[in-house]
Amino acid sequence: MSDQATGGMALEGLKVLELGQLIAGPFATRLLGEFGADVIKVEPPGVGDPLRRWRKLQDGTSLWWHVQSRNKRSLTLNLRDPEGQDIVRRLVTECDVVVENFRPGTLESWGLGWGELSALNPRLIMVRVSGYGQTGPYRDKPGFGVVGEAMGGLRYLTGQPGEPSVRVGVSIGDSLSALYAVIGTLLALQERQRSGKGQFIDVALYESVFGMMESLLPEYDATGEIRQPGGSALPGITPSNAYACRGGDYVLIAGNGDSIFKRLMVAIGRDDLAEDSRLTHNDGRTAHAERIDGAIGQWTAEHPREHVLEVLEAARVPVGFPYTAEDIVSDPHYQAREMIQSIQLASGSSLKVPGVLPRLSRTPGRISGGGPELGQHTREVLDELGIDEQTQHKLRERGIL
């Protein structure tokens, strides 16, 4: 991705075992795999990860799969069978990291909990992602991302005032948990260089969301005020909102910096508001938010979106509009920064997928292709473990592979 890329992969040599499915855990291992980690994804024989059949399918496989599972090796293994569990134990002795997102207690019931695995490999780092964490009164409850978003405080704030909350539109609770899982992994790897010891990382979906809630808690503690949904606005930060243009399109304008606000008001012909001393700083503007939003909205309603964007960009006011997938693909900035990548699928067709983040100048990440076929690397992984072909055949016959 960069002409300055001269080093190897940042996580080259790191071996990761993924035990889990769907979103949070697999998203975390996807990120590790994009920077060179050897990710072995364990899937149930015959059916695989349910994500293989989520949302839009092409040739029987989810298009999402080719983003979530790129750069991974697929190993089919029945984790409920003692012989399958033994293979996991053998893998753990050779792995640096295990990532799992089963309900707490599940791996323990299979003899694959932290105590058992860390005894086999004291340098092991184990990332445990769940709805409510490994401890506490709710630990045994099933918890998907939407529940974590609700309990973490996010879903109360999404939507219009007085109306039911709405989804963000993506599985943000799972994705935030995956990011915390990766941060925890990298922290533990750094510490292991010093101590030589592994540790486990406890990531709860609701806490990952709660950690993003900015001043929600201290504001309640200090003032007793419960933050309310603000629709498209950002309550307490003015002006920052969505405004309708002539023709029905919308723009998003963030004029909440003191000097930016003045430039915005001058650009829309409201010098009176630009020079109003009561509106010099954010606290004063917030007290007059309705008046300010009204002035901006009146101006945008008189002009098509293209004109609004042109005028405000010339005035150095942060402005944009809600991008669709079509807008993203055609945008020259996305293209210039190589955020739209194309991969070749096994069928021979080409598929556009998001690029790799974050950007490293010397050891950038990479995409080796789409998601693997179910069990595509089973023989390869077992060969590496020294399990002979005859034993593998018998395991397949019994449905363990």
Active site residues: 174
Q: Are 103 and 157 in contact (CB under 8 A)?
A: no
Provide the 10 A C-beta neighbour count for residue 228. 10
Burial class (CB in 10 A: 0-12, 13-18, 19+), 144: middle
β-sheet bridge partners, residue 244: 250
- Which tokens hold the place of 6? 């001269």
Question: How far is residue 146's CA from residue 263's CA, in Å, rounded to a whole number?
Answer: 40
Q: Are 100 and 134 in contact (CB under 8 A)?
A: no
Question: How far is residue 236's CA from residue 230's CA, in Å, rounded to a whole number?
Answer: 10
Burial class (CB in 10 A: 0-12, 13-18, 19+), 400: buried
Provide the 10 A C-beta neighbour count for residue 45. 19
Q: Nearest Cα to 42, choosing from 142, 105, 110?
A: 110
CA Rg value for the chain: 25
Question: How far is residue 311's CA from residue 316's CA, in Å, rounded to a whole number?
Answer: 9
Would you list the DSSP string of 137-154? TTTTS---HHHHHHHTTH
Q: Nearest Cα to 98, choosing from 80, 116, 78?
A: 116
Would you list the DSSP string of 285-338? HHHTHHHHHHHHHHHHHTS-HHHHHHHHHHTT--EE----HHHHHH-HHHHHTT
Q: Nearest Cα to 29, choosing from 148, 274, 203, 215?
A: 203
Question: How far is residue 10's CA from residue 240's CA, in Å, rounded to a whole number?
Answer: 38
Q: Nearest Cα to 89, choosing from 72, 109, 110?
A: 110
Q: Is the peptide bond before 239 cis (omega within 30 degrees of 0)?
A: yes
Q: Nearest Cα to 88, choosing from 105, 113, 63, 53?
A: 113
